[in-house]
Structure 1
C-alpha cells in the first residue's frame, strides 16, 4: 500500500506519521511519500518520520520528494494538507477583515473565502495529476476550507472525500466524560464543515441509547467551557454546537477579542519555528508534546480509520466525513457537501439517514451553503463581482458596504495568487 501526503512538509505531518506507525494493523502502509515544494521543511519532517517508524518497528519506508507527479504515481490514496500562501497568508486572512468589524478567521467569513480562492485552483491541478497517475486513487482532503475544497473536487468528478477532526475530537471528549471507550460513542453529527451540531450522543452505534440529555445535565459546564459558549445556550439549544459556531453565536464578542490580542496565525508561526527546530534534532524519534498545541487533535486516528475503510481494510464502518448531500438533508441541494455520519467502504461514503433538522440549524446551513456555491464560483471563474456576491451572501458579512470594502481588501492582499486579478 502506497500513501502520498501532499503538503508533507507541514508541522502536522509527525502527528499523521505517529498514527500510521501505531495503527499499522489497521492500515498496513508499505510506502509513505511526503511531497512538498519546501525542501528544507521536507528534510526535517521526513527525517523525523523515518525515526518515528524505526522507533515503533514499522517496516514501511518513508520517501520525500518535491516532484508531485513522481510522488503520486501508483499511490492508493493521496492526502491533501496544503496551505497556499503559508502562515503569512493566514496572518493576513485573520487581520484585514477586522478593519470592517468582521471575523478574521482562516476558514470562515472573509478570511475563509480568501483561503478558498487561493486553494481551489491549486487543489484541482493536483487532483488532475493524481487522476492521470491512477484514476482509482482516493483523494482525501484535509485542506481548509474542507467543505468548499471537497465540493470542488467532487464537482470535478474526482474520487474524493473530505475529513475534519472536529467530530473525532468531540467523540473523544464525550467518551472521557462518560467513562466509556471512544469506539462505543456514536455522534448524531449534522451540518456543513465547521458548521455542525451534535444532536445526539449514542452508545454502541447509530441505534444505541441517546445519552446527550444526561451528558449535558452532568457535564454541561465543562462542555460549554471548552466551546467558550455559555452553559445556558447549550441548555436552550439541547445540542452541542461545534466551537466554530461561536463565530456566529457570539460574533461581536469574538471580533472584540481578536482586536485586542495577537492573531492565532502569529502564535502558530512561532510554534512552527520551534517545532521545526525540534524536528531537526536527530535524537527525537516521537512527536513532541508541543505538537498537541498546534491543533489537529486525533487527526491521525481519523485519517487512518478513513483510509483503511476506503481501501477495504478494517476501518470503522461509520465515520463523520464530508460528502455529497444527495437528498440526505432535503432542504439543501443534492450537490451540496455536508458533514454527517456515513457508512464508508471501498465504494465511498453513504450518508446515514438524518432525522428532521431544527429550522434554527437548517436555516443557517442553507445560508452558508448558498455562500459556498458563490465562493466556489468565484474560485473557479474569478472576478471582483463574484467575490463581492460571495461576501454579501455570507451571514458573517451580509452588508453591502462591508462586502464592497472586504472585496477590495481581499483582492489587494491576495493578488499574487489570482490569475484573474
Structure 2
C-alpha cells in the first residue's frame, strides 16, 4: 500500500507543501500543469462550504470534486496518483444555526463523504459555535476535541468502507486546530495580529490526544501530522500582515524543541513574499494554504487581457464591466465583507485581496464574457508591444520561448507566477526524494 507522502513532513527538514484551496477550473488546471513541470506532488483542497454532501456552493459533492480534478489532470497529462486531495474546515462550519446534535450529524456525514471519496488530507475543524453553545464564553478545547473525536470515529468507518472497494487506498493524514482564520481571509481590519502562544498550542495538543484516546480513535490521532496555528499572517481588503519570524520564534522554537515530526499548518498565507514563505517553512510551518491569491492572479490576468482586447478588437467582451454588473446584480457574496463609500466599494469589488470577485466568475454572463474575451484574442495575433505593456513578465517568457502567445497560455502562466513563490518556499519536489 502506498504511504501518504504527507507523513514525510517534519519540522526539522525545511521541505513543505503548498495547498491550492480553490474550486476554480482554470486555476486548478494551471496548478496541475505547474506540478507536472516541477515533477512534484500537489495538494488541492476543497472547503466544507464549497464542496459537501449537499453540493456546497459549487454544486459538487466530494466524489464530484475528485472527478473534476482528475479530469483536469488528464487534460494536462499529470499523474493522478500524485494528487493529494484535502478537505478544509471539515466540521459544522455551514450548520452553525443548528443545535449540536443536528450540526454534528451533518459534520459527520460530511467527513464520511470526503474520506469515502478518497481524500487523504483531512482538517477536523470544530472550532465554531453551534446554535445551543453559550455566546458568553469561548468554546473550550474539551468541547472542540470531543466533537472532532466524533468525526474521527466516522473517518475510520469511511476508510474501512473505502478499503472494501480499493484495498490500496491511502490512509488520510489529519490536521487539527482551533485557531483558524475565517476561510478566505479576515473580515475586519486589524491593527495587530496575535501569534498563537506556545501554551495554547501545547494545551490543544494535550486535550486532543487525551480526548481521542478516551474515544478509542488513537489511530486518527497517531495520523495527525499538524495543527493550525496563527503565526502572525493574515490579509483583509487592502491589509496584509507579513510573517515576522521573531514574533513567532517562541511558538516555532517550542515546536522544534518538544515535538519530533509534528508541523504547523499556516492558513491565509496568500500574498506573502517568497522570502517570508520560505522562512515559514524553515520554522516548521511546512503546510502553506493559498487560495484567494491564485484566483486574484487569474482575475488580474483576465483584466490585463481585457485591456489588450479593448485596444485591438472591434467587438470586445467588456469583461470588466460584465463582472461589475454581476456583482451589483447579486451583492450577496461581497456586501457583508466590503465596507466604505461607493467609490471605495467600486475598487474593493474588483481589487480587494479578499477577492470576493471569484464567486462571480461562474455566473453565466461572466463566463460568456470570458469565453468571448479568449475567442477574440485567439482570432488575432496579439501584438507583443501590448503584451509588454499589460503583462511584462509574460512578454519576457514569450521572447524566451517558454510561453506561447495565446490567451489561455498567458492566463495560466500568470497564475503560475504566484505558484512560483510557493515552489521556492516549500521545495515540494524534494518531499519524496
For the criterion TM > 0.5, the same-fold answer is no
Q: Which structure has the bigger radius of gyration?
A: 2
Q: Please report the TM-score for the alignment, with normalisation by the length of structure 2.
A: 0.31
| Structure with a larger share of its residues in strand | 1
Q: Please report the TM-score for the alignment, with normalisation by the length of structure 1.
A: 0.32
